[in-house]
Chains A and B, each alone.
Chain A
Amino acid sequence: MARSKNKGSQEVNAGSMADIAFLLLIFFLVTTTIANDKGILMILPPKPDPNEPPPDITKNQRNIFKILANSRDKLLVEDEPFGDINDVRKLRPMIKEFVLNYGRNPNLSDSPKDAVVSFKTDRGTSYELFVGVLDELQGSYNEIYGERIATELLNYFPDATRADLADLFRNLDKKDPALKALYEKAREGIPRQISIAEPSKIGE
């Protein structure tokens, strides 16, 4: 008889455990948001020194790939009407051809080192278009870099295909020395020169 009493006191009632856990779960579900901390990283140019005159533009016209956006979200690429946000994906092959021209076509860049992609918006341009174009600019450079180290990347990631090269390059873990070296190799000689010009003030 004493035995049965002892047995009863030692057991903790775990039947409500699920309910307690459920309550906690619901609390966390309600009070938290899944962090969305991904995006397009950019370094802004430094503020120009007011004591120094603005630097002269010595770049040849052929080395500048001009993209203009107006306040009605229409694009002008290399002085020709291009379309709107639905067409930005067509920019990628054009930019790649422009950067990797190596002087062949007299209208395109001399060498990747000289090539500059210039993007100028208006104050009335929507942010959506800005991000869309910027995304394509970054994408074309990532593709160029990825294709440069294609064999190494495909060796390192055997499951990947050629279509993933830009993504593989973008997600290279720079903490790993071997991959860091690969990253440096891809970027060597082809600087990512994207110029975001001060917007015009027409459409506001």
Chain B
Amino acid sequence: MSKFKKKTKSGTDIPTASLPDIIFMLLFFFMVTTVLRETDILVTQNIPRATQLQKLLKKSLVSYIYIGKPKDARKYGSEPLIQVNDVFIDVSSITLFVAREKDKLSEVERDQITISLKVDSEAKMGILTDVQQQLKEAKARKVIYTTKKRVDI
């Protein structure tokens, strides 16, 4: 009887000494692959999918513009709006926004500023065109239409 008991007891123990190491590895993985969330996104972002994606090389050169329907429709209405940083802005303020973003960069990099447009699938081309006109005005002509990867079956 006692013989059997001993056997079963030794089998149930799982060594947990390496558990911290495993957790640390996971921790480092997440620390490296993620960036801190800078802004609260106030618009719906159902980003369309595409296949011909290109990666952005330098993240410091990128500024983001979000376009979509406001999440809080009662407060802001249901028409698509433009969000930069944490606030909604008017189309005409985009030049000012770009100028401020350019000021953050060093002199040599100023012309290479890239605007990442994160636009909701349901937004219309009208608002996007207005934004692009302002970007041309502000001489920030490099844009990237942020999309997700579509996997073809």
Residues of A within 8 A of B137 (CB): 47
CB distance from B12 to the nearest CB of A (A): 19
Q: Provided the pairs A22-B23, A32-B34, A35-B34 are in contact, do residues A40 and B123 lie with their beta carbons within 8 angstroms?
A: no
What is the bound-complex CA distance between A24 and B143, given in angstroms?
36
Residues of A within 8 A of B31 (CB): 28
A135 within 8 A of B: yes
Segment of A54-62, A98-106, A125-133 engaged in the interface with chain B: A125-133
**Cβ-Cβ contact count across A and B, 8 Å cutoff:** 151
B59 within 8 A of A: yes
1/0 per residue, CB under 8 A from A, across B23-63: the answer is 11011001101111100000000011011111110010010
Q: Is the CB of A131 within 8 A of B48?
A: yes
CB distance from A101 to the nearest CB of B (A): 22
What is the bound-complex CA distance between A166 and B62, given in angstroms?
26
Describe A's contact surface by its main secondary structure.
Answer: mixed
CB distance from B48 to the nearest CB of A (A): 5
Residues of B within 8 A of A2 (CB): none
Q: Is the CB of B51 within 8 A of A199?
A: no
Size bracket, chain A contacts: 35 or more
1/0 per residue, CB under 8 A from A, across B95-117: the answer is 00000000000000000000010
Interface positions, chain A 173-204, Cβ under 8 Å from B, are 198-199, 201, 204
Q: Which of B51, B119, B120 has the most CB of A within 10 A?
A: B51
Q: Which residue of B lies closest to A14 (CB)?
A: B20
Contacts A40-B50, A41-B54 aside, 6 further interface pairs with beta carbons under 8 A come to A18-B19, A40-B145, A44-B136, A45-B141, A126-B125, A135-B52
List 13 A-B residue pairs with CB atoms under 8 Å apart, sorted by A's residue number: A18-B20, A25-B23, A25-B26, A32-B34, A37-B59, A39-B54, A44-B132, A47-B137, A126-B122, A126-B123, A127-B48, A131-B48, A199-B129
